[in-house]
Structure 1
Amino acid sequence: MNRGTDLDQHKVVQLDRGLFFVSYKSAEDATSPPRVMVSPAPGHERRVELVLHPDADEPVLWQPNSSMVVRVEAPATLLVQVLPMRHGGSRAAAVRIEPITPGSPPTLTRTAMAYASPAVSSPAPALTQDVGPGLHVLAHVAGIGDVMVGQNAWIAGPTAPSRVEGIMLDWPDMPPGVDIRYAVQFANASAGNSKMVPLGTFAGTRGRALPITGIVLEMTGTSDLQFVAEAVFLSAPTLRATGRRVVLSGPTGREPLVGLRINVEGTQQAEVAVSVQPEPARPSRKEASSGRVRVFRSRPRQDAAAAGTGSARSSHP
């Protein structure tokens, strides 16, 4: 919106919400130019803010090439009045009102927004790899920075344990009807424990030396999917948990998280394996004409109960 006009006494200008630059361009009487006074229309005072030069004490442009800024919170009416400098003097002046636009930020994915967030800063650049489709896991690792992996890949972990201070989950191609939320826990209860957040939200801290001591993963919806998560807590064996709600923490709940791997898989149980083995030979007076065959049904390995409604078992890394 550009407005340029020769003003005679006064002008009423309708402005939308925004920031505007008011510029006194020229005057018909160059030797004794009129002054230009800017003010909100009666009743619109709360919608309009006049931003003046530090040395100015009233919203008046005294001569050509002077200017001010107008900030409009909601559509409002602005009055621009031209007043002669002397009795019978000229009232003709050219004033232009131009919008000041901030531009538009580039469209960011939820993952990119996590890197661009000004609320927290990373002391080191993010380390990324070709994570492929499926669940993406971003973690802030002490001394390394942000690390992103695909599902079923370790962040830190048994071979390279490091303190994990924050995580973010994302799933660009997540099946419809699925909802995932998660939370992190700290040894310090005042650090914002157990606040469940949606996909694409960073949970935890960066650069504050506050290691995570627990993680909660929760999946809802009609899908037959579930979490399969493994975590390594300092001085504790690797913990493995499965289920639509999983809680991971160390033996005392205060051990720092130093490794994490998260996968998503179907909840359908695999078919029970059947093995066929000949019966071991037994001493007998009569030789058997043929070896007998027995059928053994292997038992599926049962996971020990984990905290929460998911199940977990421990194994050494």
Structure 2
Amino acid sequence: MKSTTLQKTLDLQKGLFLIRYESAEDAAQPPKVSLSVDARSAGAVEFLLPPDVAEPVLWSPGGNVVVRLSAPARLQVELSARSAGGSLGARIQTAQLSTDPLGLAALDEAPVDFAGLRLLGHLAGRGDTFVGLGDWLGGPMAPTRIEGLGIDWAERPQNFALRHSVRVGGAGEPKATEFVEAGGYSGTRGRALPLVGATFEVHGSGAQHYEITADAIFLGSPQMKVSGQRVVVSGPTGREPLVGLRLQIASTRVAPVPLASPARSAPAATEPASKEPVRNGSGRVRVFRSRAGAKG
């Protein structure tokens, strides 16, 4: 018997989004698209619906709904066929709505001060240890098994958020923790369970022109470096203990080139304030299944 429903997840950052029913494989009998909030994101999501509409349901291509997220959240998308064995092929598009798609408001904001940010690591045989940005927990000169991580940032600005999650190793399959914001802790203490992976992410209106650089060392593996607004570190097999970690956060904006000195004969020249590509947060989710491919 062919399935009459199909479920997908949609992860969105904090903001205002338009969710649009772009197209359907069967235009005569398009599947119904129902939206709901993942239980772990309850309280962070608000659907903005037309008057007399009680539920966020898109009935046909061209349908739209606006959703407001006060924090990063996950939505559930369920497609329901109009008849037994009907098509479940559909394309759902998301676009972020913004009053400042170019991010120009950030030009008027003071640079973020990271002086008070400290990375906490629970190190085997040493206990809780704090280091600043640019300094190693463990590391190439003193590799030490890291069993837990936290971020201490008492003076964090309201428009800049930093969160992380970890993967805890052990005898069985590694277990991933939920994301926690600055001030939270992930991992274990006193159980001798190593971390085998970690994810760090900056978000918020003040974070759009900043990125993280993470240097990591896993037991028996060469040092790795990754950069971005979301970074993931893990060993070759995903089971190697993390024995060194260093974080840095920096602006991605390119400073203008100074004017040439009047004493020089070369003509003065300036460059644009930023060469960074525009990032408006838009995304696209494709949910597509043909009749022949649907199985019960």
TM-score normalised by the chain length of structure 2:
0.45
Greater Rg by CA:
1
Name the structure, 1 or 2, with higher relative contact order (CA <8 Å, separation 6+): 2
